[in-house]
Copies of this chain bind each other. A is one copy, B any other.
Amino acid sequence: MVIAMQAHATAEQVDAVREQLEQAGMRTVAGRDGVRVLIGCFGEVDAIAPVAVATLPGVESVVPWRTPYRLAGRQLSPAARTVVRLGDGAQASVGDASLLVIAGPCSVEGREMLLEAARGVGRAGAGALRGGAFKPRTSPYAFQGLGLDALRWLAEVRRETGLPVVTEVLDPRQVDLVAEHADVLQVGARNMQNFPLLAEVGRVRRPVLLKRGLSATVTELLLAAEYVLARGNRDVILCERGIRTFEPATRNTLDIAAIPVLRAETHLPVIVDPSHAGGRADLVAPLAYAAIAAGADGLIVEVHPHPEAARSDGDQSLSLAGFTELMRGLTPFAAAAGRTLVQPHTPGREAAA
């Protein structure tokens, strides 16, 4: 249930209500709808009857949760939007008026290629670097990533370029290790409902980039986010990356409507992965433009210094030149959407970082 306090309720009254609920074994979270304090109650059963709560001093009304997700939803703080900051110096952010573009190779194939990619995407205006150290591959015989070496290179390249680093974590036992080396922990589409992994990333102090599962509904995505939020990590970035349908022309079908639907349902930032959605380099730009026009807070794009030589996902990777062109093409759409694009990385900024 959610308790709306009267507009003029005192802080003491709010505290008294929360205390009483918590003594009954429930957990409470406070929000606000402009004029009133709202108290969200959690617990498998309602230990106190809503009618009993309704008579406490300062309480205006008691209503049920409207959605199965609670912390991820908008009921407790209808007007709020979560802004997630990336990097120890908060070099980048997502969920505010700026657009965040995360770019880099599918997998980290070596220190040099990663540095080349990072410098290139940073110069073109990317706000963060992506790169896979542990790769979830459909076949056990496909390249699985370079693991710890790749993590170390990511951390080095971050120091050299100042770009916050996003990388995927596959295994709950590796969450701490990955969190040591990276700024954002990505949970991939195949792991969207890997609940032990969600619990672990919910425990650390790193933003989580949560990708929608191939056949997950928007509601299921928000419930997966709820697992992370409920463990105490409030920095969740949602990512639409295409769903599985009958259409063979594209690798997946980008569910563009999920962006405005998510913006209506949640305060969490929403980004789009046009590379995996389309699976074709020539579709990245139109899908990216569409995503921004539909209201996305950012993008995550596969960029490889030499796509033709990539060990994975070469078909959908942009070259550095292609990425630069994408960023140039994005600019008017960002402006039309009332968003600012991070300015291209200047040498000074890199030095400062």
Contact = CB atoms under 8 A, between A and B. Distances in A.
Interface stretch (A12-20, A203-211, A282-290): A282-290
Contact of A171 (B196, B218, B219, B220): B196
Interface in A46-69: 68-69
Contacts of A250: 257, 261
Interface string A173-205: 100000000000000001101111000000000
A348 interface: no
Contact of A286 (B42, B137, B294): B294
Interface residues of A, number: 69
A258 interface: yes
Contact of A138 (B172, B223, B246, B335): B223
Interface string A130-147: 000000111111010000
Given A44-B141, A190-B193, A249 B219 contact: yes
Interface string A214-251: 11011110010011001000000000000111111110
A127 interface: no
A156 interface: no
A299 interface: no
Contacts of A170: 195-196
B264 A258 contact: no
Interface string A144-181: 00000000000000000000000000111100000000
